[in-house]
């Protein structure tokens, strides 16, 4: 089929289009309406319908492929590999569901998941979906303050965690950070379920902490049927950073998400039942939700869940998995490719990669040299796709399952079906109609199935943060700049807000600033994202010390820099640690006191900051220039 027609139909006849896609999933009760957009910008997909994500990901495959591989867990950290068939996964998920029920979890309750990349994390997510509980996975790299704010927002009945993760062979304890976070949080979970991997000793809080292995052994044969939930029932919340310091809980529905993922497996990710999908992300991020756990399983595929680094024991480890499990679709991030690019290219030739239909890359801009290198080395199509935690699945991509179209390196491709993408002039609010004009990437409402329903318990924040009415139409802002060429291919040019993207991890600069400000000797701080060859961007902090006399020499400055980094590590996690903390006596501000963030970033990247006539103290930027060299 012609993709342009496919896309046009999805926008002009959304009901007919999505009703067709909805046939890709099982419904316990058919829906009454496809799209209800009577209260914009809120949209309801498949109202009246009842389904269950776990049923679609696991149970429904029992009839046709019970012994096919479902979850392949590989850890190069602890040298273990476990393969679960759909039948075995079904049993494990029921055990986990029985445990959660025993611990008091009911439909609609939140279960917070703070876990490394272990199979039990996937069991937990699927078990929650099974019983209608709402999971809230927090990335394992976040530390106690980040975790505490998420616990407070989700107010979970139960938290599921583990003794430790492992990175590059080094044990990374989780439980101490979790205990600290629970102490800081106002909302207290009734129970903490601990998966003890035997990696790190930890203290148990009597009456609160429960042992997974002990409870599992009680429920070896417990049957827990799927709870049929309304299409609109929240399946999960996932926190993401924005302009303000408090992270937002992106709330996802059940029916729309299930349909969107099933359709994306077919049209975008080229997956077929019985094949193997390998996404190298982490369950703490949206890619892990959509394309490690739910998407591939809904599509009847085996999914590889990998704990470890891409270069350990050597840079061939991912490709060895592609060969061993005949991976057909692989999903990773540009930073990982840039890491591999620094290794011996012979590793790419060592394995039979002929099963691979395509390598999908997302999460951050894919620069042309990286795209060219991996495309030539792999000899397989590289498909860049652009999306966000909020949308849950791609906004821009090539939909080669519909029609094979050429890639253009540097571009994530065309607007995906269901997304009415527009480029809007920031100053006038008018649509850019000519090619190659830069505008804000916006999506005209309604958002398609699978996207966020709202901000968890904060409809007002959802409306205020993301939506504007232009010419009477509700428009969702992605907060990214973009241009479109004459063929309809988009190019993403970076964020319009204060969000930065470090190695594909989205971080709010305000969160990092708040953390740094808690150091006793910090009077003021500004954090900006600075271009980096490997990670795309890194965070750089500019600090005005309260007591500048403590910064007499280089050794003293390095000491304070180290202390500040430790504060960020312990509060937010190493993922948010700035690459440098530099000390200044003034920050570039306007006369009305507004921080000139873009100017600061430009100078830190050795670019021209542009018109600086509004700056209060011109020496501020000179100091930055001198520091960054």
Region binding ligand AMP by CB under 6 A among candidate stretches 172-180, 348-356, 380-388, 591-599: 380-388
Contacting range for ligand AMP; rule: CB under 6 A; set: 17-25, 65-73, 357-365, 612-620: 357-365
Report if residue 123 touches ligand AMP, rule: CB under 6 A: no
For the residues of 8-23, what is the DSSP string, one character each? HHHHHSHHHHHHHHGG
Tell me the CA distances in angstroms from 607 to 22, 387, 503, 594, one per residue in order.
49, 28, 22, 21
Span of 69-77, 259-267, 338-346, 356-364 interacting with ligand AMP by CB under 6 A: 356-364
**Residues 490, 398: Cα–Cα separation, whole Å:** 11
Instruction: Please say which residue, 85 or 246, places its beta carbon nearer to ligand AMP.
Output: 246
**How far apart are the C-alpha atoms of 136 and 251, rounded to whole Å?**
10
Neighbours of 30 (CB within 10 A): 11
In the chain, helix, strand, coil percent, each to 5?
A: 30, 25, 40
Closest CA to 116 of 236, 200, 206: 200
Among 386, 417, 462, 466, which residue interacts with ligand AMP (rule: CB under 6 A)? 386
> Which contacts (CB < 8 Å, 24+ apart) does range 21-25 have?
21/259, 21/262, 21/263, 21/449, 22/46, 22/49, 22/255, 22/259, 24/259, 24/262, 24/263, 24/266, 25/51, 25/56, 25/255, 25/258, 25/259, 25/262, 25/298
Burial 146-170 (b: 16+ CB within 10 A, else e): bbbbbbbbbbbbbbbbbbbbbbeee
Residue 240 in contact with ligand AMP, rule: CB under 6 A: yes
Stretch that binds ligand AMP, among 382-390, 417-425, 550-558, 616-624 (CB under 6 A): 382-390
> Which range touches ligand AMP (CB under 6 A), out of 119-127, 317-325, 381-389, 611-619?
381-389
Q: Which is nearer to ligand AMP, 416 or 432 (CB)?
A: 416
**Closer by beta carbon to ligand AMP, 270 or else 287:** 287
Nearest approach, Cβ of 461 to ligand AMP (angstroms)?
Answer: 16
Distance CA 150, CA 276 (A): 33
Q: Which of 21, 231, 329, 388 binds ligand AMP (CB under 6 A)?
A: 388
Using CB under 6 A, which of 179, 307, 364, 561 touches ligand AMP? 364
Quick note: the x/- pattern for ligand AMP over 478-517, rule CB under 6 A, is: x-x-----------x--x-----x----x-----------
5 secondary structure, DSSP code? H
Tell me how far, at minimum, the Cβ of 361 lies from ligand AMP, in Å: 7
Q: Least distance to ligand AMP from the beta carbon of 501, Å?
A: 5
Nearer to ligand AMP, 90 or 506 (CB): 506
Query: Is the CB of 126 or the CB of 492 nearer to ligand AMP?
Result: 492
| Minimum CB–partner distance for residue 240 and ligand AMP (Å) | 5
Alpha-helix residue ranges (DSSP H) falling in 236-395: 255-267, 286-288, 295-298, 317-324, 334-341, 346-349, 368-378
Q: For residues 297 and 358, what is the distance between their CA atoms, to the nearest angstrom?
A: 18
Shortest distance, position 80 Cβ to ligand AMP, whole Å:
29
Q: What are phi and psi of 400, to 5 degrees?
A: -70, -15
- Count the residues of the shown chain that bind ligand AMP, applying the rule CB under 6 A: 19
Stretch binding ligand AMP (CB under 6 A), from 136-144, 189-197, 362-370, 527-535: 362-370
User: Least distance from C-beta 352 to ligand AMP, angstroms?
Assistant: 28
User: In terms of CB distance, is 149 or 385 closer to ligand AMP?
Assistant: 385
365 is an interface residue for ligand AMP by CB under 6 A:
yes
For 295, the 3-state DSSP assignment is: helix
Is residue 414 at the binding interface for ligand AMP, with CB under 6 A as the rule? no
Strand, helix or coil at 368?
helix
What does the alpha-carbon distance between residue 82 and residue 80 come to, in Å, rounded to a whole number? 7
Residues in region 276-295 near ligand AMP by CB under 6 A: 286
Q: Report the nearest approach of ligand AMP to the CB of residue 491 (Å).
A: 9
Residue 229 CB, shortest distance to ligand AMP, in Å, is 25
Binding mask 81-100 for ligand AMP (x = CB under 6 A): --------------------
End-to-end CA distance of the chain: 54
Closest distance to ligand AMP from the beta carbon of 252 (Å):
13
Interface with ligand AMP (CB under 6 A), residue from 362, 371, 440, 564: 362
CA distance 397 to 405: 10
User: In this chain, which of 384, 498, 511, 514 binds ligand AMP, going by CB under 6 A?
Assistant: 384
Cα maximum dimension of the chain: 73
Run of H or E residues at 541: strand 536-545
Contact between 529 and ligand AMP by CB under 6 A: the answer reads no
Which one of 44-52, 184-192, 349-357, 360-368 is the stretch in contact with ligand AMP (CB under 6 A)? 360-368
What is the nearest approach in angstroms of ligand AMP to the Cβ of residue 388? Answer: 4
Q: Which of 315, 290, 336 has its CA nearest to residue 505?
A: 336
Instruction: Select from 385-393, 459-467, 514-522, 599-607 the region that touches ligand AMP (CB under 6 A).
Output: 385-393
* Nearest residue (CB) to ligand AMP, 365 versus 448: 365
Contact region for ligand AMP (CB under 6 A) — 64-72, 383-391, 457-465, 618-626?
A: 383-391
Site string for ligand AMP, 241-280 (x = CB under 6 A): ----------------------------------------
Subset of residues 455 to 474 that bind ligand AMP, contact rule: CB under 6 A: none
Q: In this structure, what DSSP letter does residue 379 have?
A: -
Q: Rounded CA gap, 127 and 96, in Å?
A: 6
From 64-72, 269-277, 378-386, 596-604, span contacting ligand AMP (CB under 6 A): 378-386
Cα 189 to chain center, whole Å?
A: 25
Q: How far is the CB of 405 from ligand AMP (least distance, A)?
A: 16
Report the run of H or E that residue 582 belongs to, with start and end: strand 580-583
Cα–Cα distance measured from residue 73 to residue 325, given in angstroms and rounded to the nearest whole number: 12
Does a cis peptide bond (omega within 30 degrees of 0) precede residue 224? no
Residues at the contact surface with ligand AMP, assessed by CB under 6 A: 240, 286, 362-366, 384-386, 388-389, 412, 478, 480, 492, 495, 501, 506
């Amino acid at each position: 089929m012609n993709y342009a027609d496919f896309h046009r139909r999805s926008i002009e006849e959304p009901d007919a289009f999505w009703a067709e896609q909805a046939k890709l999933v099982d419904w316990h009760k058919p829906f009454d309406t496809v799209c209800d957009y009577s209260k914009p910008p809120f949209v309801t997909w498949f109202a009246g319908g009842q389904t269950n994500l776990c049923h679609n990901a696991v149970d429904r495959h029992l009839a046709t492929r019970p012994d096919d591989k479902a979850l392949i867990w590989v850890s190069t950290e602890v040298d273990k590999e476990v393969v679960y068939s759909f039948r075995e996964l079904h049993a494990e998920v029921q055990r986990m569901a029985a445990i959660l029920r025993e611990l008091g979890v009911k439909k609609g309750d939140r279960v917070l998941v703070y876990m490394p990349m272990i199979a039990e994390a996937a069991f937990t997510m699927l078990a929650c979906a099974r019983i209608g509980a709402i999971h809230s996975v927090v990335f394992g790299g976040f530390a106690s303050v980040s975790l505490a704010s998420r616990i407070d927002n989700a107010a979970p009945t139960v938290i599921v965690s583990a003794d430790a993760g492992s990175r590059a062979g080094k044990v990374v304890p989780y439980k101490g950070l979790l205990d600290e976070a629970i102490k800081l949080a106002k909302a207290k979970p009734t129970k903490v379920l601990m998966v003890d991997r035997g990696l790190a000793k930890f203290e148990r809080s009597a009456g609160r902490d429960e042992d997974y292995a002990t409870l599992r052994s009680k429920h070896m044969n417990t049957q827990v049927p799927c709870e049929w939930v309304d299409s609109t029932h929240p399946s999960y919340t996932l926190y993401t950073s924005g302009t303000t310091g408090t992270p937002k809980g992106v709330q996802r529905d059940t029916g729309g998400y299930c349909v969107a993922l099933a359709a994306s497996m077919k049209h975008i990710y080229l997956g077929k039942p019985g094949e193997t999908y390998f996404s190298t992300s982490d369950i703490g991020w949206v890619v892990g939700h959509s394309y490690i756990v739910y998407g591939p399983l809904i599509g009847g595929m085996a999914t590889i869940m990998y704990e470890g680094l891409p270069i350990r024991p050597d840079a061939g480890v991912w490709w060895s998995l592609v060969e061993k499990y005949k991976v057909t679709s692989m999903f990773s991030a540009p930073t990982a490719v840039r890491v591999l690019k620094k290794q011996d290219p012979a590793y790419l030739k060592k394995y039979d990669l002929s099963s691979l239909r395509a390598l999908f890359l997302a999460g951050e801009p894919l620069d042309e040299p990286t795209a060219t290198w991996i495309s030539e080395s792999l000899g397989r199509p590289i498909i860049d796709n652009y999306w966000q935690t909020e949308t849950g699945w791609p906004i821009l991509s090539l939909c080669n399952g519909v029609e094979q179209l050429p890639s253009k390196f540097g571009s994530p491709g065309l607007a995906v079906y269901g997304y009415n993408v527009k480029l809007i002039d920031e100053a006038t609010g008018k649509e850019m109609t000519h090619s190659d004009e830069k505008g804000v990437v916006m999506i005209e409402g309604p958002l398609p199935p699978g996207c966020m329903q709202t901000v968890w318990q904060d409809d007002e924040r959802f409306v205020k943060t993301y939506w504007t009415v232009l010419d009477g139409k509700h428009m969702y802002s992605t907060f990214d700049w973009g241009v479109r060429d004459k063929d309809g291919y988009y190019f993403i040019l970076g964020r319009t807000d204060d969000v930065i993207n470090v190695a594909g991890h989205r971080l709010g600069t305000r969160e990092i600033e708040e953390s740094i400000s808690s150091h006793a000797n910090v009077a003021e701080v500004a954090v900006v994202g600075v271009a980096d060859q490997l990670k795309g961007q890194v965070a750089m902090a500019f600090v005005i010390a309260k007591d500048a006399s403590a910064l007499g020499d280089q050794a003293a400055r390095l000491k304070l820099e180290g202390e500040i980094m430790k504060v960020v590590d312990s509060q937010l996690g190493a993922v948010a640690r700035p690459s440098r903390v530099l000390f200044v006596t003034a920050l570039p501000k306007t006369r009305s006191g507004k921080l000139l963030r873009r100017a600061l970033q430009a100078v830190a990247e050795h670019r021209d900051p542009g018109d600086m006539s509004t700056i209060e103290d011109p020496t501020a930027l000179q100091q930055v220039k001198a520091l960054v060299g």
